[in-house]
Amino acid sequence: MPTVLRPLLRGVTYTRILHLWVTALPFSIWIFIYPTAPWAPALVLIPLGLIPAVRRGEGIQARLLLASDERESEFSEEPSATWRDRWRTVLWLAVRMGLAMMTTVATTWLPVLTYGSADMAMGHTVKGVPWLEEASPHWAYALLVPVFLVLLYATMVGLGELITAAARRLLGPSPAERLAALEVRTEQLLERTRIARELHDSIGHALTIAVVQAGAARTARDPAFTDRALEAIEETGRTALEDLDRVLGILREPERPVSSRPTLVDADRLLETVPGPVSREGYRILQESLTNALRHAGPVPVRARVCVADGTLLLEIRNPLAEGVSGPGRGSGLRGIRERAALLGGRARTGPDEGDWRVRVELPLG
């Protein structure tokens, strides 16, 4: 089909006309009953548009009937928060009513004129149709049929585009609403970053332990040690599955509280007075540090010190450096530790120290 005719195949072309027809219906009834005062309904637009909730209703209608894609957030669906938004709503109602009346007239009389012209071209007399009832039948009226059809098409598409453009302009989000939407979007991106870090920490930790334990069991060739290694792998895998289910639950339920996340309180309830955010991030920092130790140094002794002093939570994790290895590297794990500490107003230092690899993190409690 030619590009110019494609709007006829789009459902939004007809929902826009429906939007305008619905607007014109009560005013058409008024004019039919009180033809001497056709301007009276316009007086209702000012007090109606000043009602804050009206803007929300108009925005919802615009999204459902005017938008070409419902995913577009081009219309505000919030009540008027300022007088500027209220007057924009009043102007919108006036524009909507004016375009609605034009649409009603065009879509009523253009089909009638089309049919009347075709009828007169076939030699019949037409009564009750303006411009045609006084004319004599003639074949030349057939030339007007495509003209009226083109005008009807242009009216349906053109007025639909015009009302949509006006709605975007007058019902679009205000600067304050755009800022609020941007803040929500930023929060969503931060949440996704946090979830990615959660997956990296939890699953990476579990896989590292499983690989190290499996390698150690294969090397040891000791049935008792192998049983302990398999038990550790099983427990680690179970914990990883629980963490994965929890993170996926966050994705499915964005409003789910974070109280179910593991915290340092789970470490024998040693730090019950530590604030929730500090406790959760401290847990992840400790987990990431142990994962790095296993991944880069292997099954070596690891010393972890956790204490609270002078309003600060101190985490220090030390492990011997493997021979020929200067440290765990500079991957996303260490960067994640530093980012977690910085977000809580603390600091993290990582690097070789007296033959060990040390991670030292200080997190303020208040």
Please report the DSSP string for 142-176 in residue order.
GGHHHHHHHHHHHHHHHHHHHHHHHHHHHSSPPHH
The proportion of the chain whose per-residue pLDDT surpasses 90, expressed as a percent, equals 8
pLDDT score recorded for residue 270: 43
Residue 261 pLDDT exceeds 60: no
Instruction: Name beta bridge partners: 303.
Output: 318
Q: Given pLDDT bands bounded at 50, 70 and 90, which one contains residue 259? A: very low
Other C-beta atoms within 10 Å of 342: how many? Answer: 11
Looking at residues 55-78, what average pLDDT do you find? Answer: 79
Looking at residues 250-256, what average pLDDT do you find? Answer: 54
* 269 dihedral zone (left: phi>0; alpha: psi -120 to 50; beta): left
Looking at residues 274-301, what average pLDDT do you find? Answer: 79
Residue 49 pLDDT exceeds 90: no
Rounded CA-CA distance 69/52 in Å is 26
Looking at residues 332-361, what average pLDDT do you find? Answer: 83
Structure tokens given for 80: 């008027």
pLDDT score recorded for residue 119: 87
Q: Given pLDDT bands bounded at 50, 70 and 90, which one contains residue 256? A: very low
pLDDT tens, residue by residue, 298-339: 778 889 888 888 888 899 999 988 765 555 554 567 877 887
pLDDT score recorded for residue 253: 54
- Stretch among 229-238, 252-261, 271-280 having the lowest mean pLDDT: 252-261
pLDDT tens, residue by residue, 168-192: 889 888 777 777 778 777 877 776 7
| pTM, two decimal places | 0.51
Amino acid sitting at position 87: W
pLDDT score recorded for residue 310: 80
pLDDT score recorded for residue 360: 93
pLDDT tens, residue by residue, 72-106: 557 888 888 888 889 999 999 989 988 998 898 88
Looking at residues 347-362, what average pLDDT do you find? Answer: 89
pLDDT score recorded for residue 200: 73
Mean pLDDT of the chain: 79
Residue 263 pLDDT exceeds 60: no
Q: Given pLDDT bands bounded at 50, 70 and 90, which one contains residue 249? A: low
Greater pLDDT, 111 or 282: 111
- Stretch among 98-112, 122-136, 341-355 having the lowest mean pLDDT: 122-136
pLDDT score recorded for residue 109: 87
Residues 6+ apart with CB under 8 A from 348: 285, 337, 338, 340, 341, 342, 359, 360, 361, 362
Q: How far, in Å, are 9, 10, 250 from residue 1 at the CA level? A: 10, 13, 47
Number of residues written out for the chain: 366
Greater pLDDT, 333 or 107: 107
Residue 280 pLDDT exceeds 90: no
pLDDT score recorded for residue 240: 73
